[in-house]
Structure 1
Amino acid sequence: MISHRHQCVFVHVPKTAGISIEHVFLAQYGLTWDERAPLLLRFNPDPALGPERLGHLTATEYVDCGHISEAGFNAYFKFAFVRNPWSRLVSEFNYRRYFTQMSFTEFVREGFPEPCNYSDAYRHVLPQCDYLYDDTGRCLVDFVGRFENLQADFDRVCDTVGIPRTLLPHVNASESGEDASASPRPAGAAAAHAAYYDAETRDLVGRLYQRDIETFGYRFED
């Protein structure tokens, strides 16, 4: 998402409440979800411009695919949110209703979408670092919030871009495609994703998203 009015770029890592965040910015323009194209949130028929949904561009693609100049990208405030990788994958499994086709164990072992950078389904399982870092290992965003601290971290974003602090909405899943039920749990509550895992799948996901886990300091129980 690019908001030129607020001079910011939101790098939307799937399954981190991104659509709720985008709704807040759309409201600043007086736009509905169906009118979201001006913020670069439209469907994309041209793979040369990025993935199926331009809202899921990686940080490098904003410039590489010609959506903003390098100077503009560098000047704008860039932010993103990340999430516990084990929890994020459970949310993806439920969001796309993979459970109607296979068990969670089967999904982790062999059910991932075929690698294709244009595919939105594939974008949903990309490591989070792939969205935020370039090939040299440099983080391209100015602020990385956490899904687990969603509202407080989004308040910091609001303060930075100059919009009123806004309570993030629970977006209807049928309207936007977001998993509206996947909300941060209350402090001290058990990790809901734990019930989906056995020792094997916990280890497989830990290895698959090792860089995310190490970079953002996540533990399985977080």
Structure 2
Amino acid sequence: MVISDAHRLLFVHVQKTGGSTIDNRLDAVLSDTRQVPGIDRHATLGQILAAEPGLAAYWTVGYVRNPWARMLSWFRMVERFKERADRGRRGADAFLKKNHFIKGVADACPDFETFVMKGPDQWTRLRTPQVRYLTSKTRRADFIGRQETLEADLRAVFARLELPWEPLESVNVDKSRPDYREVYTDPMRRRIEEIFAKDIAAFNYSF
């Protein structure tokens, strides 16, 4: 999450939707960015508002992504950290020791099929619809952008906030990731369709 009290802005960071790129840009142009102490940076809107109810009045922004592409991106991130740790990269090894979720997924899901078919049963965050991150019982994000049109949508956010714009420098980009349609079997495709039915309906995504 990123909060700017001066601009009355709340950015809710949904995992694997380009959020790190957005975090970096907001931190670069806003001098007062902060988070809510004591809660995860990927907290849901409901969790954020429970911790700091006054943020309900802030203009709230979040991003979503095609669920099939998002899950592949998530697995590839885990895979990269495991490969780096296995090669003795000190930073990756330290990260895995600290991040029990990533390490647990890396140990339990040796391939993408296992990650899709079994991972969501073991880890709640792998089956949490993106729409849940961006809604609470009384609130919904005011602007929901898409990873697929990240730069254009973020430019619209900056225009709304009257902030200066420069082309994005994306981070955590997996340039070798295959087209997600090439790596799903029919059972895997249906599994994601079932888990993220709310996202597919809310944001009109398709395989």
Q: TM class, shorter-chain normalised?
A: 0.7 to 0.9
Structure 1 unmatched ranges of 5 or more: 32-37, 116-121, 172-178, 186-190
TM-score (norm. length: structure 1):
0.72
User: Retained in 1: the 8 A contact 2:4–2:30?
Assistant: no
Q: Does 1:160 align with 2:160?
A: yes
The corresponding residue for 1:77 is 59
The corresponding residue for 1:64 is 50
The corresponding residue for 1:169 is 169
Q: What is the alpha-carbon distance in structure 2 between the residues aligned to residue 182 and residue 126 of structure 1?
A: 26
Change (3 A) 1:93 1:125: farther
Instruction: Point out the more displaced range, 56-65 or 78-87.
Output: 56-65
One-letter identity of the residue aligned with 1:205: I
Instruction: Give the CA deviation at 1:22.
Output: 0.8
Instruction: Give the CA deviation at 1:126.
Output: 2.1
Percent of aligned pairs with the same amino acid: 29
Q: What is the alpha-carbon distance in structure 2 between the residues aligned to residue 181 and residue 127 of structure 1?
A: 23
The within-5 A match list for 1:186-205 is 192-205=179-192
User: Retained in 1: the 8 A contact 2:61–2:144?
Assistant: yes
Post-superposition Cα deviations, 1:176-211, rounded to whole Å, max 9, x if no partner, equal xxx32279x9xxxxx811111011100011001001
One-letter identity of the residue aligned with 1:158: F
The corresponding residue for 2:143 is 143
Change (3 A) 1:169 1:30: farther
Change (3 A) 1:127 1:156: same
Instruction: Point out the more displaced range, 91-100 or 1-10.
Output: 91-100
Q: What is the alpha-carbon distance in structure 1 between the residues aligned to residue 30 and residue 150 of structure 2?
A: 22
The corresponding residue for 2:120 is 112
How many residues align structurally? 180
Structure 2 unmatched ranges of 5 or more: 80-104
Instruction: Give the CA deviation at 1:73.
Output: 2.2
User: Retained in 2: the 8 A contact 1:11–1:131?
Assistant: yes
TM-score (norm. length: structure 2):
0.77
Instruction: Give the CA deviation at 1:166.
Output: 2.8
The corresponding residue for 1:119 is none
Provide the secondary structure at the position in 2 that maps to 1:6.
Answer: coil
Q: What is the alpha-carbon distance in structure 1 between the residues aligned to residue 162 and residue 195 of structure 2?
A: 38
CA RMSD, 1 decimal: 2.6
